Chain A
C-alpha cells in the first residue's frame, strides 16, 4: 500500500499540522511516511501545501507530480492540483469559498463542509481534524486509535486535554463527507 496525498489551502488553515498528524498516525500504524511542505517567506495568509506519503515500503521521492488523493481547501489549490490527481484517484474539497467546482469525470470527488461544521462545533481550530476525518472515511489507511496516538505524539503535552475534542472532530468529518459523483 502506498498513498500519495497533497493537502493544500491557505496558511493558517492547519494544512501543515493536519499533514503532520496524518504522518505521525502513519508511524503509529507501522508505516513509512514522508511530509514535505511547500514553504515561502510568508508566515500567514499565503497558500500552503504539504505532500504526505504513507506506505508499506520505504518512501522514495517525497516530491511528486501526481497524487492518489488531493485534499483541497481553497480555489487556488483546486485550480493547481485538480489536474494532478491520478486517474481513478480521489479529490476531497471544502466548498466554502469555491466558485468553480471540480469538473473531472475520471476521479472520485467528495465534499466536506469543514468550515461550517467547525463553526457548528463552536471551535474553528478543529477544522483540519474534520477534514482529516473526511479523508480517512474515504481512504481508511489508518485506524482511529492510531490517529489518537498520532495526536498524542504531535501535540505538546499541554494540549493533550484537547485530544478528545479533536477525535470528536474526526468523527464529525467521517459522518458528513458527501460523494459528488
Chain B
C-alpha cells in the first residue's frame, strides 16, 4: 500500500502526475483548479523526476480545443484535466458539470474522440492520472480527466501510488518508435502531423481513427452500479453529482423506494449497454442528475432509445443540488406520485 494522506482533489491529481513519471505539465491558474499548478510549483518536480512545469498561455480548456483536434489527428498521447466551473464564458468560479458536451462530443474540429474519465472522489483524482496515461499511450490519443470544482476543492483521504521514474530516452525509443527523439542516421525521419492533402489517404486516416475509437468503445467502458440489483428507478450521475445521488439513493431506500445509481466512470466511451441491460432487467425510468441544464441526458436518451422514461434534473450557476431535492425530482419527474 502506498502513502496515506488527506489531500484536495487538485493536489492529489498533481501529486499523482509527478508519481506516475509525467514528462511535463502546462497550465494556467484559474479557479477552481489553481492548486494544481501551485502544488506542482511548490513540489519542484523537476528535482524529483525531471518533470517540467510550465505556465502556458492557455486560459482554459476552450483554448485547448484547437490543440486537442491536432493531437487527435496526429495521434499524440496526452492527459488533460478540466476542473469545471460554471459558464458560459467567464460564468462563475463555483462547481459545474456543464462542459460535458465540450469534452465528450468534441470542441475542436473534425471527426475525433477523447477518452473522458470522470473521478468522483479525491482517490480517483489520483488514480485516474496513471490510468489516463496508460490509455493515452495505449491508443495514442488524448484522455480528459473531467472533474469539477467540488471534487477539485474537497479533501479526502487518498492512497498515493509509488513514485515511478520518468521514462529514459532509451526506454522511449524502445517503447514508442513514433516519438520524435532525433532521426537515427540511416533511418527514415519521422513526422508528427495532422495534415495530409491527399484525399484518399486522409479518408483512410479517418477510417483508421474510427476503428481505433471502436476498439476503445469495445474495451474501455467503465462504470459503477450502486443498489441497482432490484432497482426500478435509477439515477444516472457522474463526478460530484454521483456522490450526491448516492446519498439520494440512501434516503430513497430508507423511504421504501427501489432506487439505484449508475455512475458512468468513462463518459466517452459511454456505458450505453449498461443502461440497456438495466432496462432488460426491468428498470422503468432514469433520472440524469448533472450540474448542467441537461447534457448527459442526451446519451441516456440514446441508450434508452424510447424503451424507458428518462429525464434530466440539475442545478446550475454554481448551485449544487442537495440529496433531498435530487430524490424529490426522481419522485416527481420519473416515479410519479
| Touch test A–B (CB under 8 Å) | yes
- A65 CB-CB contact with B under 8 Å: yes
B250 to chain A minimum Cβ distance, whole angstroms, is 7
B324: A residues at CB distance < 8 A: 65-66
1/0 per residue, CB under 8 A from A, across B217-254: the answer is 00000000000000000000000100111110010000
- B93 CB-CB contact with A under 8 Å: yes
B153: A residues at CB distance < 8 A: 36-37, 39
- B195 CB-CB contact with A under 8 Å: no
Q: For chain B residues 321-336, which have a beta carbon within 8 Å of chain A?
A: 322-325
If A61-B244, A63-B240, A63-B243 touch, does A32 touch B93 (CB 8 Å cutoff)? no
- A98 CB-CB contact with B under 8 Å: no
- A27 CB-CB contact with B under 8 Å: yes
If A27-B6, A60-B250, A153-B6 touch, does A35 touch B322 (CB 8 Å cutoff)? no
Cβ A32 vs Cβ B157 within 8 A: yes
Cβ A35 vs Cβ B243 within 8 A: no
Nearest residue, chain A, Cβ from B149: A39
Q: For chain A residues 1-47, which have a beta carbon within 8 Å of chain B?
A: 20, 23-24, 27, 32-37, 39-41
* A65 partner, pick from B31, B154, B157, B322, beta carbons under 8 A: B322
Cβ A35 vs Cβ B93 within 8 A: no
Cβ B150 vs Cβ A63 within 8 A: yes
Nearest residue, chain A, Cβ from B244: A61
| A153 and B157 alpha carbons, distance in the complex (Å) | 12
Cβ B323 vs Cβ A62 within 8 A: no
A20: B residues at CB distance < 8 A: 6, 155
1/0 per residue, CB under 8 A from B, across A118-140: the answer is 00000000000000000000000
Cβ B156 vs Cβ A34 within 8 A: yes
If A27-B6, A40-B93 touch, does A63 touch B155 (CB 8 Å cutoff)? no
A27: B residues at CB distance < 8 A: 4, 6, 157
A154: B residues at CB distance < 8 A: 6
Cβ A62 vs Cβ B150 within 8 A: yes
Cβ A33 vs Cβ B157 within 8 A: yes
- A59 CB-CB contact with B under 8 Å: yes
Cβ B155 vs Cβ A64 within 8 A: no
If A40-B93, A61-B323 touch, does A35 touch B155 (CB 8 Å cutoff)? yes
A152 to chain B minimum Cβ distance, whole angstroms, is 12
- B107 CB-CB contact with A under 8 Å: no
B326 to chain A minimum Cβ distance, whole angstroms, is 9
- B53 CB-CB contact with A under 8 Å: no
A63: B residues at CB distance < 8 A: 150, 240, 243-244, 320, 322
* B246 partner, pick from A37, A61, A64, A153, beta carbons under 8 A: A61
| A34 and B250 alpha carbons, distance in the complex (Å) | 18
| A20 and B247 alpha carbons, distance in the complex (Å) | 23
A10 to chain B minimum Cβ distance, whole angstroms, is 19
A157 to chain B minimum Cβ distance, whole angstroms, is 14
If A24-B6, A27-B4, A36-B154 touch, does A62 touch B93 (CB 8 Å cutoff)? no
B269: A residues at CB distance < 8 A: none
- B32 CB-CB contact with A under 8 Å: yes
Nearest residue, chain B, Cβ from A24: B6
If A27-B6, A154-B6 touch, does A35 touch B323 (CB 8 Å cutoff)? no
B190 to chain A minimum Cβ distance, whole angstroms, is 46
* B247 partner, pick from A23, A36, A39, A60, beta carbons under 8 A: A60
| A59 and B93 alpha carbons, distance in the complex (Å) | 25
* A64 partner, pick from B5, B32, B323, beta carbons under 8 A: B323
| A126 and B153 alpha carbons, distance in the complex (Å) | 25
| A32 and B246 alpha carbons, distance in the complex (Å) | 16
Q: For chain B residues 116-172, which have a beta carbon within 8 Å of chain A?
A: 149-150, 153-157
B157: A residues at CB distance < 8 A: 27, 32-33
| A3 and B245 alpha carbons, distance in the complex (Å) | 19
| A41 and B90 alpha carbons, distance in the complex (Å) | 13
Given contact pairs A36-B153, A41-B31, A64-B322, enumerate 18 new A-B contacts (beta carbons under 8 Å). Answer: A27-B6, A27-B157, A33-B157, A35-B154, A36-B154, A37-B153, A37-B154, A39-B31, A39-B93, A59-B243, A60-B243, A60-B244, A61-B247, A62-B154, A62-B243, A63-B243, A65-B325, A154-B6
Hey, which bits of chain A sit against chain B, CB under 8 A? 20, 23-24, 27, 32-37, 39-41, 59-66, 153-154
Closest 10 CB pairs of A and B: A65-B322, A61-B247, A35-B155, A60-B246, A36-B154, A61-B244, A60-B247, A61-B243, A27-B157, A24-B6
Name 7 A/B residue pairs within 8 A (Cβ), A-sorted: A20-B6, A27-B4, A33-B6, A33-B155, A59-B243, A60-B243, A66-B324
